[in-house]
Amino acid sequence: VTGGADSAGLWPLVPAAAAVDAETVVRALELGSGGREGRPHTVAVMIATVDGRTTVDGRSVGLGCPADRALFRAVRAEADAMLVGAPTLAAERYARLIDTERRAARARKGRAPHPLVVTVSRRLDLDLGAIPVLREPGVDALVFTEADASGDLDEGPALHQMAPGTLTLTGVLEHLARAHGVRSVTCEGGPTLLARLVAEDCLDDLLLTVAPVLLGSVPAAPTLLGPVGLPVPAPLVLADVHRAGEHVFLHYTRRG
């Protein structure tokens, strides 16, 4: 416990949160230990305002801080695959997924230099060809869709086409484990994708950074699970709390 009483004895005691260290948080995830029911271990890494909003001006970048960026990059560096919604890939302008040093470290362990980049879109109504990370040299990318897009993707990501009405995240994760040997997945959102993961009970850990700001009701700024409802509430267990300045880092696990 830190803080303590001031000279007048008026300040409450406040619980201490250790300074966040990305490597420590990643170790606690035990990503190598595998997932549940034939799926990879799946971790979501998200940031939200104190009132639960996930974007400022259409992107999450304005909410973050260096420690937050270090955290999601460290999780990426350990994961076999990244699952990201197509709208998020477009909005967040992904590039240079992993630092040179971490790429080399992965290669030394016989792993692909980058995690497999996986996106899902039933309708495929975005121009995936215009998303640079899907064409980045050395990055393998895989798109799951129900749309017929074979003609649109001659280069770049591989396409996994599914019959209409059959694209579920459970199916995607099982396929990644079975066909690609993926044991760990980091999901970087967005909110709709996270809600689908929770609704299908596919989420094992949630790393949520709370940004020290209130946004209020901005209709264009989705909340953590966007507009998607859950069939039942999903209870969580608080595994750890860290901080960096005014940002708080919460590690939740699924209550089994």
| SS3 at position 90 | helix
Query: Which one among 52, 87, 113, 129 touches ligand NAP, defined by CB under 6 A?
Result: 87
Query: What DSSP character marks residue 14?
Result: B
In our burial notation (b when 16+ CB lie closer than 10 A, e otherwise), range 166-197 reads ebbbebbbbbbbeeeebbbbbbbbbbbbbbbb
Q: How far is the CB of 198 from ligand NAP (least distance, A)?
A: 12
Q: How far is the CB of 24 from ligand NAP (least distance, A)?
A: 21
Query: Which one among 128, 131, 193, 203 touches ligand NAP, defined by CB under 6 A?
Result: 193
Query: Are 83 and 99 in contact, with CB atoms under 8 Å apart?
Result: no
Binding mask 110-149 for ligand NAP (x = CB under 6 A): ----------xxxx-x------------------------
Task: Pick between residue 105 and residue 241 the one whose CB is nearest to ligand NAP.
Answer: 241
Query: Which one among 20, 25, 43, 46 touches ligand NAP, defined by CB under 6 A?
Result: 46
Indicate whether 96 belongs to the interface with ligand NAP (CB under 6 A). no
Q: Facing residues of 218 across strands?
A: none
Size of site (CB under 6 A) for ligand NAP: 29
Query: Are 210 and 68 in contact, with CB atoms under 8 Å apart?
Result: no
Q: Which stretch binds ligand NAP (CB under 6 A): 6-14, 29-37, 80-88, 155-163?
A: 80-88
Strand positions, DSSP E, the chain: 18-19, 41-49, 81-83, 116-121, 141-145, 158-161, 184-187, 205-211, 236-244, 247-254
Q: Which stretch binds ligand NAP (CB under 6 A): 8-16, 19-27, 190-198, 241-249?
A: 190-198
Tokens standing for 168? 């579920």
Residue in this structure with the two tokens 């901080």, named with its chain if needed:
243
Site for ligand NAP in 215-244 (CB under 6 A): 222, 226
Contact residues toward ligand NAP (CB under 6 A) are 46-48, 54-55, 58-60, 85-88, 91-92, 120-123, 125, 167, 188-193, 196, 222, 226
